Structure 1
Amino acid sequence: MFAKLARTGLLIAALGVAGCNDSSMKDFAPSANNPLPDKILADMKAKGMARTSPVMARIFKEEGKLEIWKAKTSGRYDMVASYDICKWSGKLGPKYTEGDRQAPEGFYTVRPAQMNPRSSYHLSFDIGYPNAYDRANGRTGTNLMVHGACSSSGCYSMTDAQIEQIYAFGRDAFQGGQTEFQIQAFPFRMTAANMARYRNDPNYDFWKMLKVGYDNFEITKVPPKVDVCEKRYVFNQVAADGATFNPTGACPAATQPDSLKTAYSAYQSTYDAAFNGAVKASVPAPRPTIAGVKEASIVSDWSKRRARGERVPIEPPSLNADGSVSETARMGRIDSPAGRKMAAIDAEKAAKRKAEQQRLAAIEAAKAEKEAARAQALAEKETARINSLAEEEEARAAAEAPVATATIASPPEVAPAEKAANADESRVTKLKNKLLGMFGG
């Protein structure tokens, strides 16, 4: 059943056999020339693979794995190496827009020109995002890679030792005549159990589409021929004579090998039964996924502000199911020329604000001191005036008092003159107190 598929593998995989030109291969850095370990070479030989036979890669985000598959003499592929992905950024789900920090999902193509032996990340290769599907759906982004240095902002990052081996697989295949190799990037292994776990996810329809390509490879062990029409992926379809696949146009009339259709139908029947059973079973909770283009836009805005050096939450924001946005309380800025420049500008602004606040505070303090001195002077002046009035009143009262005459009176009696003097003194005291009370003395 698979003999025909194996014979047409190059068509289905879209892998040419024209030689690599010297300009694409001659500038490899020393680390890009390191040979594969002897054990891997021995395993390849045992499986019927040449060192320079065609290669492809599969990536599974949730499991954190990058697999390398190579063609055997039969034309079918077998896995020869599996690596733990050191880091990938974002959540499960496709990349939507520049800056959303999502690592892409889909079917991508790597050619010699995309290999970078002098990468800032030790070694790297661009996976080819955006592809025809991404462009047809308005998705944007650049420089999405598999690279070393174990650091990611939308890429799949490996350790330096891992990327040297992965890079060597591609290099050797190109030297053997392969002109491009396929990378299949998935959110998870697309088993019935995993698809059942994520059946209510907003990305589920996209993942179901990817699963068709996943299933085609599982059935044939040959990288599927990938085309795009009506803004969707189609796999292993052969267009009628003269017809082409237009990513945004209607899909042309196309056929598939009968053997593939029969195998796919049997595979799907088994899958449907497993899926129905998985829906009823207890399974692990789904991992966080991106909530479509809206969340991608929110994260992209965060990335732009961060790139400008602004202080933003340390982690990218997340869109919740109810439409609200969650952000971490801890703030920071990227340590970059832009970040340091923005920090210097913010510090200068803060210093100016502080200086202005100090100037205004000094002015207010001077005003308050001046007002206090004026109030003190007025109080002292008023006290002096009140004292003067009291003294004048006392002198007048004394002048008006009658002269006392000597009389023989009973000792307990008080002379009228003394009574008058006492009364005058009482009146003066009361007047003085009243005046002092009126003017704050």
Structure 2
Amino acid sequence: MKTSETPAPATAGRSFRLLCSPEEMPCVEALLQAQGYRFEPEPFSPFCRRLLDEPRPLGASLAAFFGYIYIQDRSSMLPPLALDPAAGGSVLDICASPGSKTGFLAQLVGKNGFVLGNEPSRARLATLRANMHACNLLPVSTCTYEGQNLPLRPGSWEAIQLDPPCSGWGTVEKHPRVMELWQGEKVQPLVGLQRLLLRHAADLLAPGGKLVYSTCTTNVAENEEQVRFAEQELGLERLPLTPFPGFVWEELPGGEGTLRVDGQRSGAQGFYVALFRKPAGALQSVPEPLPVQPAAGPARRGGKNAAKREQPGQELPREALAGPCCDPALLPPGRVMLYGDQVRFLPEDAARLLPPDMVWQGALLGKFAGGRLHPAPRLRALLPRRPDAGTALVLDDPDELTALLSGQSRRTALEGREAALWWRDLPLGRVSLKPGRVVATFS
């Protein structure tokens, strides 16, 4: 076994990502610092930070509440960076919940890109959608299918992320019993599922496209042996990965060019990452027809009525969204659709990549009632780029924000039904106006 020494982190604190534009990063960091948090840059990505001082749980911070940071193990940040999708590109995430890697992929492709996050579990799908909504990631659409049966066109995706169910041996410090629960024959069903998922992912991948395979386990059968399977049985080409700074790496026989994180010495989870390319001249298999019922719209209901589809959507002109808390000119390319009273955004590439009978859901913008859009309270992505004195409440003290979120109203001279909420130069969301007062309505 080889070990590659690169500078390991000085502390074992938690890591997080900034979910904002480069121009907004100083303001998000200032909001964290105003609440007493201290952190340092991670060496492998300008989006990532490592926590040094946590006066209260980071998840309870204002930056987390308003979706400007995402708490994530530093090893888990590596697969999207290894895949390195092009700005404006499209990515399929086959096993997406809770959305850590899905959200990072959306950051990397940018507002003009498209990420389809598929989560086989209905219960976990709700978590995925809630996280993507809180983070204002309009490029992300979601669906729920068994990953090995995703009804997508063969050879249609330039970039695919596959982080399949695994034994989780790399998380032993957080889950001490994981090695006991997943041993011997108990692991074989996972290995079989991983191969089914790899086979289908390889079929969906376009010739010349890239596939990243990752796990949070240290089990060779789920890592290096799966790489050999992908090469020998599926015809994928291994692309050597350059080690990211800030980690200590191990290399086992058969893992050349892949990345195996030494979790203990890296201050992170044990993790494994491999990158593949589909040869440009690869032949496409002809899949058997999939049992997909016709769909009338991109939403699926849960429970006993899971097979029912929403009524066909109605496309809305962008100008119908205009208001004091919504600038439709900030929307990326795509369509705005009305399903019942819900307004959703469908990225432009969705029409090209998703079959018409597939069931999926675009990002929620808000509700349409009384001939106008009522933006979702957390929808900051479409707030005007600068606060307007007549339509915005701008606060400077984090304690004022905390008081507003705790249910306290605040006197205001603003008029109308709603206002944009800002902290200094950072847009946060939408608040309701009552006569002479402002009330936070975040859920």
* Same fold at TM > 0.5: no
Report which of the two structures shows the higher radius of gyration computed on alpha carbons.
1
Which TM-score tier does this pair reach, normalised by the shorter chain?
A: under 0.3
TM-score, structure 1 normalization: 0.25
| Structure with the largest fraction of strand | 2
| Structure with the largest fraction of helix | 1
